[in-house]
Amino acid sequence: MGNQSSSSSSKLRHFRESWRRHKNGSDGQKNGGPLVSTADKVRPPPQISHKYFDADEVAQLKECWSHMEGHLHDILSDSFLELFAEKPDIKDKFFEFRNYTIEDLRKHQPEAEANGLNALQRHVPRVSRAITKVVKLMDRPANAAEYLHVLGKIHHQMGITVSRAKHPDQPRIQSVHTEYPRSDHKS
């Protein structure tokens, strides 16, 4: 497990460095030669038609965010477990998850108990930070799109493509609403 944890840390450092260079407009030169990241070598993900949120939608998202943020860990954990149950091949793309059943991911794994976290519980906060960053960038959609593009490249490199991703559908959105109702919501 040590190599997998080290590999994950390395990938995270690589992602952060790629993002920092991208944001700082670095020319990619180091020691006189080009510095090419693995993410830059990967074929870009397919282009998705998108529409930026209008001002009202941004306001609604930010209003909902203050409520959801407190429940995000549970929502993400449930969403990952549901995704892995529906599409086990995606679970297999995560080095930290591939050797565990969904039930194992629901509970603490013996070798991870020293840290108090299992593989899924270590990944969920990373996803939470990414979502939080995107929500904070909602007023600057081009910046959010750039960040998501870099994050998408990393996932694409691991074989997780847009066509394999789970898009939130109305029943899932409704179940989140039911499981984590707003305190001021009238049912």
State the residue for tokens 């991208």: 22
Residue among 25, 44, 27 at smallest CA distance from 36: 27
DSSP, collapsed to helix, strand or coil, labels residue 81 as: helix
CATH of domain 54-182: 1.10.490.10
Domain ranges of the chain: 54-182
CA distance 53 to 67: 20
This prediction's pTM: 0.57
CA distance 170 to 116: 34
Task: Tell me the backbone φ, ψ of residue 94, rounded to 5 degrees.
Answer: -90, 115
Cα 138–144–148 angle (5° rounding)? 135
> Per residue of the chain (187 residues), what is the pLDDT tens digit?
444 445 555 655 666 676 566 566 554 444 444 444 554 555 555 555 556 778 888 888 888 888 888 898 888 988 888 888 888 888 888 877 788 888 888 875 445 455 556 778 888 899 999 999 998 888 888 888 889 889 888 888 877 776 555 555 545 555 555 555 554 444 4
Contact 102, 85 (CB under 8 A): yes
